[in-house]
């Protein structure tokens, strides 16, 4: 029997077992994205299948570390009003003639250019002042108007489960690559042990058994080394090791925070959720009351200047025109945020969602931090380990076939 060849073959195939079982387990965490099978027999990516439960966990975590009232309180009324008013300038320029013509049809066209410009500036100033007043009055309502939990759950589960899979895959990519490579190295050394056992006992059927053990232990160790130990620990008095995930807590917190801020808790989605909330009626009442009062004051000033006495009917019409032109009313409390990148950029910077999540996650205990990712597939860890055992047994059988076919027995 060629002893060297037995060692080479079994060690090489052992490395293949380690690599393939790790790669397969990683693949099964995210694939297939939709259930494939017949009846109850089949498989769906662990992340997608567990997405509703995990999404609730993410939502509860975000409610704790980025409460709406704390985040919205960062918006400075005067600063926001200035940015918003500048963005609305084209609409104000469009609105001014409409308001003037509400007083009397054709009145704007009769006004001198200087008078037209003065009216535009006056309405622009009033708009900025109204925005300050609206935000100051409505801010206490905002905390109760945005419900993070259903919003986050919707964005990370169901039809959007692939977004959750992408989030998990991105923040855990380095750990998964390391574990797959580790599987090949450990599998190589397990293959050497297999060679010793086979050469000692000469029983080919030991190889599938050892292959199954390789797959089981390799996958179990792979999961273990991602999360444990929480703190660096010396092993065999020779080297220190810390779980891959806790070791990169700061880096993962950064990636997690920025992905959530970019795809889940964006200013645009928060504003849209605000427009769907039960509190939108109360907030819209604030918007309407402030605009009505300020329009009444301005109409009373420049109406007589233009030779028109504003009536209650004229004032109500002017208010409807203003709300319609500014994109408020119905289910909309603000113009579509996507149309105003400067406003969206301001809210993104001021709300600081990414930075808030990053800071809070970085400060979490290792136990709490582990739940962010591990909780999603912890219930399926045994299945993933079992898959490693089955695949290891299959490749171990291949090992036996190779050894027997080459007459190495």
Nearest partner of 382 among 216, 186, 183, 172, judged by Cα: 216
pLDDT per position as a tens digit, 121-173: 888 888 888 888 888 888 887 777 777 888 889 999 988 999 989 988 888 88
- Distance separating alpha carbons of residues 196 and 14, to the nearest angstrom: 13
Q: Please report the pLDDT score of residue 67 as a whole number.
A: 81
pLDDT per position as a tens digit, 52-110: 888 888 888 888 888 878 888 888 888 988 888 888 888 888 888 888 888 888 888 88
**What residue has token string 């001021």?**
350
CA dihedral 275, 278, 280, 284 (to 10 degrees): 150
Q: What is the mean pLDDT of the chain?
A: 82
393 confidence band (pLDDT: 50, 70, 90): confident
In this model, does residue 19 exceed pLDDT 60? yes
377 confidence band (pLDDT: 50, 70, 90): low
In this model, does residue 376 exceed pLDDT 70? no
Please state the rounded mean pLDDT for residues 342-357: 89
- Distance separating alpha carbons of residues 81 and 27, to the nearest angstrom: 49
Please state the rounded mean pLDDT for residues 42-59: 86
pLDDT per position as a tens digit, 264-318: 888 888 877 776 777 777 888 888 888 888 888 888 877 777 777 788 888 888 8
Please state whether beta strands 239-241 and 41-43 pair in parallel, antiparallel, or not at all (unpaired): unpaired
Q: Please report the pLDDT score of residue 330 as a whole number.
A: 47
| Start-end of H helices in 50-160 | 51-65, 68-72, 77-87, 89-103, 107-110, 113-145, 148-156
């Amino acid at each position: 029997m060629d002893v060297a060849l037995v060692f080479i073959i079994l060690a090489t195939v052992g490395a293949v077992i380690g690599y393939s079982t790790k790669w397969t387990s990683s693949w099964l965490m995210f694939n297939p994205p939709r259930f494939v099978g017949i009846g109850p027999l089949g498989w769906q990516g662990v992340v997608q299948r567990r997405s509703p439960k995990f999404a609730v966990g993410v939502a509860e975590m975000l409610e704790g570390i980025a409460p709406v009232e704390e985040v919205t309180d960062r918006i400075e009324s005067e600063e926001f009003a200035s940015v918003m008013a500048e963005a609305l300038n084209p609409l104000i320029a469009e609105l001014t003639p409409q308001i003037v013509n509400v007083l009397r049809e054709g009145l704007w066209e009769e006004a001198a250019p200087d008078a037209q410009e003065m009216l535009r500036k006056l309405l622009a100033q009033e708009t900025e002042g109204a925005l300050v007043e609206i935000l100051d009055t409505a801010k206490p309502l905002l905390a109760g108007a945005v419900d993070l939990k259903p919003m986050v759950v919707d964005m990370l589960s169901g039809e959007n489960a692939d977004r959750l899979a992408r989030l998990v895959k991105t923040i855990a990519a380095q750990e998964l690559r390391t574990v797959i490579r580790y599987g090949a190295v450990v599998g190589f050394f397990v293959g050497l042990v297999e060679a010793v056992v086979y050469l000692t006992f000469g029983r080919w059927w030991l190889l599938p058994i050892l292959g199954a053990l390789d797959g089981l232990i390799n996958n179990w160790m792979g999961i273990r080394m991602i999360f444990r130990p929480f703190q660096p620990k010396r092993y065999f008095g020779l080297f220190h090791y810390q779980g891959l995930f806790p070791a990169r807590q700061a880096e993962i917190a950064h990636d997690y925070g920025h992905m959530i801020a970019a795809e889940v808790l964006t200013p645009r989605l928060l504003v849209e959720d605000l427009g769907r909330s039960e509190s939108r009626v109360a907030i819209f009442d604030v918007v309407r009351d402030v605009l009505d009062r300020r329009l009444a004051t301005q109409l009373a000033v420049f109406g007589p200047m233009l030779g028109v006495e504003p009536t209650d009917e004229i004032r109500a019409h002017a208010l409807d025109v203003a709300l319609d032109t500014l994109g408020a009313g119905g289910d909309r409390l603000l113009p579509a945020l996507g149309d105003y990148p400067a406003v969206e950029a301001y809210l993104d910077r001021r709300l600081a969602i990414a930075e808030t999540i990053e800071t809070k996650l970085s400060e979490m205990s290792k136990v709490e931090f582990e739940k962010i990712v591990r909780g999603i597939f912890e219930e399926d860890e045994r299945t993933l380990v079992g898959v490693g055992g089955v695949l290891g047994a299959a490749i171990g059988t291949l090992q036996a076939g190779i050894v027997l076919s080459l007459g190495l027995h």
